[in-house]
Structure 1
Amino acid sequence: MTSVLPSVSLTELTQLTSRASTVIQRLRERVFSPGHEKQLNLRFNVRTAAEMVGRTEKAIRDAEGDGRLQEPDKDPETKRRTGYTLGQVNQMRDVFGTLPHRASDDPALVLAVQNFKGGVGKSTIVSHLSQFFALKGYRVCVIDCDSQASTTAMFGMNPDIDVDEEEDTLYPFLRHGGPKSLHYALRATYWPGIALIPANLGLYDAEYEFAARMAREPTFILDRLRDGVESIADQFDIILLDPPPALGMLSLSVLRAANALLIPAPPNNIDFASTAHFLKMMESTLSELAEHGGAREYNFVKIIASKMNDQKSAHLAIKRMMDAVFPQDMLQATLKDSAEIDNATANLSTVYELTGPATRTETHKRCRAYLDAVGREVELLTRKTWPSHHKALRKEGLL
């Protein structure tokens, strides 16, 4: 019996791909307009700056008066201060000795936000966590390991135009005979304190090359990314890895390169089942990989409930079950399902970048509180991995 539907040939699929590319191009033309360079427009008044720096407003004024600090710019019309930039706040931290950097003999935190399932919020967590840490004054590197390059786009780079896979991504380093370190790929971003190693679709080729070479060079393949991370780790306090949503060679390399894992898991039946399978596959995979280069240990492995909707009884029920099954392994904070995040992401932005009237709504304040709670909890876990911070943590009653 012949189908009443017309068959779809490679020609039709090619046309569909072309039309999809046209839509993507139009979206990117809107976000990445010619000559447009993404900028951070955050400004902080002296009270907020003092809170961020951990000093009094008077101390800041005195430091400006004696020349240790530069005064912020003034509006040419009103002559009023426009506020301090994040770069100026970090300069204050430097002058007052309150930068939160790890000691040189503390290990950099290499945190992979990983789940083999797509759509669980990995890139959202990576971009917001990196900016939370930057606001605190940490030195952050984000490594985009996903050929979809969502995180790269969030940081204002057009993966199709601004990123060359032969020069700017992980791809050259992962190839045999590639560069000795990852320094070539580090890109400054418009966020003070955040460097990025970008990605684009060309990174997908690494999956095939890795798979083809795995049988011949298993140790090189599995540990190449870890070697690259170690080559730049002395420059950063925190390195965030955003892996592809699949159990491929790059994902396995990320598991080997990281020394901490954060696993996003939306509290619904399908996604939670996927996360359970991910944990089982991760255990099996790590056991297998241990035979090719030693066991891998992590400073911490935490599950975060992502895309949580408190208005859905099913979400609440599954979250209670997650807390009961993983009492020591769940982050207390959750990443809420928020229109504020969705709206910011639609413009390839984050909640932390919003300015003006948009930041005075209750919706924004609630969303910011959720994100800050996640950031603070991960920050505490991070500081617990640094021996130089233990004394301060005891003094704060956190250790």
Structure 2
Amino acid sequence: MDQVAAFRNVAEVLRAAQQVAIEVENAPELRKTLRGFTPAECALLLGLTLPELKARAAQRLAEAPAGPRGRFSFAQLERLRSRTLPSADMPLRRKPGREALATVVFTNFKGGSAKTTSSVHFAQYMALAGYRVLLVDLDSQGSATAQFGFDPSREAGPDACFAAWTTARDEGRSATFDAAVLCRRTYWPTIDIVPAGAALAAAEESLTRRATAGQAEEPLYFEEFSAFLRQVPDRYDVVVVDTRPDVNMLMTAALHAASGIVVPTRASMTDLASTGEYFAHLAGYAAEFAQAFGTPLPLAFARILITAFDPTDRSQEALLALARERFGDMVLGRPFLHSRIIGTAGLGKETLYEYEPSSDRAAFQRALASTNAVNRLIEREVLRFWGRRLPAAEPRAKDTAR
């Protein structure tokens, strides 16, 4: 077998394996579906205790009976939210025309920093909190795409990922391009996704070509992602962006559309050194851009998220303390705890919000509480961006209710 044939064989076998895994994991529908939620979970998600939920919703729970095993669907959860909470406690969805679309970009140089894990969990947390979310995968590896049950090699081709937009711009078809066709429905009713795969390389090449052509060429490459977001349907509150872990044009274009960035990093010297290089790059680029165009990057916030954190590891504790001492509020107040539960859930391409443990529920609850605490802090940044009244830092119901 020659070199080309060997490479193609590996690609074909692994692509087929991924497709089979998606279908086996999600039989008989062959697509991922969202599990139901227990009354205790519904209470937690609504910020109520279970007795409070039962007291407020006794009649309505009877009107909308739970599904199998006493579970409630996502749609039933949304109805419970609208029927049981006082209007003052309802999540205020974005007011189009008065409040800008909030775009949160997860980015860093370093691979293995839990960037995709963080972005996908944040998207699902926001959906569970009542927001309408568009997840845009700008990483040609397509990990976020696969997490939502799409096959990056078969369902994120040149006409089905962000590359379709840049091609339309290159060919002068942007005025008639329907960006909505790229926003695919997922099994989460309030999350759509713009998937990614190897075809995304065409978008990178297009932006690189424009960047090397100089400022005279329109449209400017760094405005491309912002232009795309202006064309997407006005039904979203939040855009969550997963970027590729290196210096690239797609990441740069995402920065110009970002309301804020979250930079995940592990608490190790190697990872923090890489994160330092990322911020050095960001500082240099922001300075050059401000000098050239007389305006800063449009970031309302930039936060460092410590991931895979082990509180029993003294070196990690020391590095987290050092980061907080040096960078203050730029470091999110809660780290994303290390847990083998995330790996266990990942075997079935599930997040903590989708996974149901069969054992070691205490470890699962610790991981879930950590994830909720991190995502709540990022949600607060979004609300601050909108100029909203910030909610209490902690929920009324315990994160560990189940």
Q: Secondary structure at the match of 1:118?
A: coil
Q: Is the 8 A contact 2:264 2:305 kept in 1?
A: yes
Determine the structure 2 residue equivalent to 1:225. Answer: 225
Partner amino acid for 2:279? Answer: L
Q: Supply the RMSD in Å over aligned alpha carbons.
A: 2.6
Contact 1:225/1:257 (8 A) holds in 2? yes
Task: State which of 174, 183, 196 in structure 1 corresponds to 2:193.
Answer: 196
Offset from partner CA, 1:154-196 (integer Å, 9 cap, x none):
0011111233321x21111122224445212111111121111
Q: Deviations over 1:204-239 (max 9, x none)?
A: 122122212222437531101111123337321211
Aligned to 2:100: 107
Measure, in 2, the Cα distance between the counterparts of 1:36 and 1:169: 22
Secondary structure of the structure 2 residue equivalent to 1:336 = coil
Give how far 1:24 is off.
Answer: 4.7
The amino acid that maps onto 1:344 is A
Aligned position for 2:259:
259
Paired residues of 1:111 and 1:240 also in contact (CA < 8 A): yes
TM-score of the two chains, using structure 2 as the length reference: 0.85
Name the SS of the counterpart of 1:353 in structure 2.
Answer: coil
Corresponding residue for residue 121 of structure 1: 114
Do the aligned partners of 1:115 and 1:278 also contact (CA within 8 Å) in 2? yes
Q: Which residue of 1 aligns with 2:32?
A: 38
Tell me which of 122, 145, 149 is aligned to 1:156. 149
1:172 to 164, 175, 190: 164
Cα–Cα, structure 1 residues 240 and 233, in superposed 2: closer, same or farther, change >3 Å?
A: farther
Q: Percent identity?
A: 22
SS in 2 for 1:327: helix
Please identify the structure whose Cα radius of gyration is greater. 1
Matched, 1:87 2:75: yes
* Residue 15 (1) aligns with residue 6 (2): yes
How is 1:1-399 mapped onto 2 (pairs within 5 angstroms)?
A: 11-12=2-3, 15-16=6-7, 18-19=9-10, 21-33=12-24, 36-45=30-39, 47-53=40-46, 56-63=53-60, 70-73=64-67, 75=68, 82-96=70-84, 97=87, 98-104=90-96, 105-166=98-159, 168-175=160-167, 176=170, 177-179=172-174, 180=177, 182-214=179-211, 215-216=213-214, 217=217, 219-232=219-232, 234-290=234-290, 291=292, 294-355=295-356, 357-358=358-359, 361-387=361-387, 389-390=388-389
TM-superposed deviation, 1:370: 0.9
**Given the superposition, is the C-alpha separation of residues 294 and 22 from structure 1 closer, same or farther in structure 2, using an over 3 Å criterion?**
same
Shift of 1:355: 2.1
- Quick check: 1:93–1:99 contact (8 Å CA) kept in 2? no
Matched residue pairs, number?
A: 373
Paired residues of 1:218 and 1:292 also in contact (CA < 8 A): no
Residue 22 of structure 1 aligns to which amino acid in structure 2?
A: V
CA distance in 1, matches of 2:55, 2:357: 27
SS in 2 for 1:161: helix
Q: Which amino acid aligns with 2:389?
A: H
* Residue in 2 that maps onto 1:4: none
Given that residues 308 and 339 in structure 2 are in contact (C-alpha distance below 8 angstroms), is that contact kept between their aligned partners in structure 1?
yes
C-alpha deviation, 1:327, in angstroms: 1.2
Structure 2 unaligned segments of length 5 or more: list them.
396-402
- Tell me which moved more, 51-60 or 342-351: 51-60
Change (3 A) 1:58 1:316: closer
Distance in 2, matches of 1:392 and 1:370, equals 18
Cα distance between partner residues in 2 of 1:48 and 1:211:
47
Write the deviation string for residues 68-123 of structure 1: whole angstroms up to 9, x where unpaired. x53333x5xxxxx6221121111222345424423332222200011122111110
CA distance in structure 2 between the partners assigned to 1:330 and 1:101 by the alignment: 27
Query: How high is the TM-score relative to the length of structure 1?
Result: 0.85
Structure 1: any 5+ residue segments left out of the alignment?
A: 1-9, 76-80
Letter in 2 for 1:335: F
Q: Distance in 1 between matches of 2:361 and 2:64?
A: 32
Q: Sort the Cα spacing of 1:289 and 1:32 in 2 relative to 1 into closer, same or farther, 3 A.
A: farther
- Please tell me whether the aligned partners of residues 172 and 178 of structure 1 are also in contact (alpha carbons under 8 angstroms): no
What secondary structure does 2:366 align onto?
helix
